[in-house]
Amino acid sequence: MPANLAVALLHYPVYNKHREVVTTAFTNLDIHDIARTCRTFGLSRYFLVTPSIEQQQLIQRIVTHWDSGWGADYNPDRREALSIVRSVQSLDDAIIDLQQSGQLPVSIIATGAANRSNTVSFVRLRQMLQDKERQYLLLLGTGWGLADELFEQADTILEPIQGVGTYNHLPVRSALAIMLDRLLGTY
């Protein structure tokens, strides 16, 4: 199991439609869809990052419902997916959790839909993941994408997913599924 890759979905700092840095609200389906996709590809952690205490509590309440509440018996597959979810208040907290659980240094990978000059390809990152002496944390942005400061902070920037033609507006849930398949899938 390639437990040296984890995902963080950031609700801050991200841009809104007017390129202002904001905190977005989480959506329920982002918990379930991304947890199931991450779990299918063998990831050990999926962090929902939000500085809002109320949002963290609400995420935790949903996870608990399916993890140990009524939903645990009703839908064990969902329980297993949600067992990898962690609600944290900052990217730093996610990194600390990973370092403590995996006992390995953590490399940060920023992602986005825009073209940038200093990106690595999916093929190259797939090779990098073979280094089992490191852990990798893939950052995804909500809203209109990760704030620039995260690209400056990242160790690696992943190339954007190109579709067919000029329209390129993948939902974050779909983009993540494609990323994990390119990085870990076999067919």
Binding residues for a second copy, rule: CB under 8 A, are 1-2, 29, 32-33, 36-37, 39-42, 77-78, 80-81, 121-123, 159, 161-165, 167-171, 173-178, 181-182, 184-187
Q: What share of the chain is helix, strand, coil (3-state, %, to 5)?
A: 40, 20, 40
Which of 130/169 has CB closer to a second copy? Answer: 169
| Min dist. Cβ of residue 163 to a second copy (A) | 4
List C-alpha distances in Å: 65 to 8, 28, 48, 72, 157: 21, 13, 17, 7, 36
Closest approach, Cβ 81 to a second copy, in A, equals 7
State how far the alpha carbon of 184 is from the alpha carbons of 102, 108, 111, 129, 151, in Å. Answer: 19, 17, 16, 9, 23
Longest dimension (CA), the chain: 49
Closest distance to a second copy from the beta carbon of 2 (Å): 6
Give me the least distance between CB of 90 and a second copy, in Å please: 27
Q: Residue 20 or residue 92: which is nearer to a second copy going by CB?
A: 20
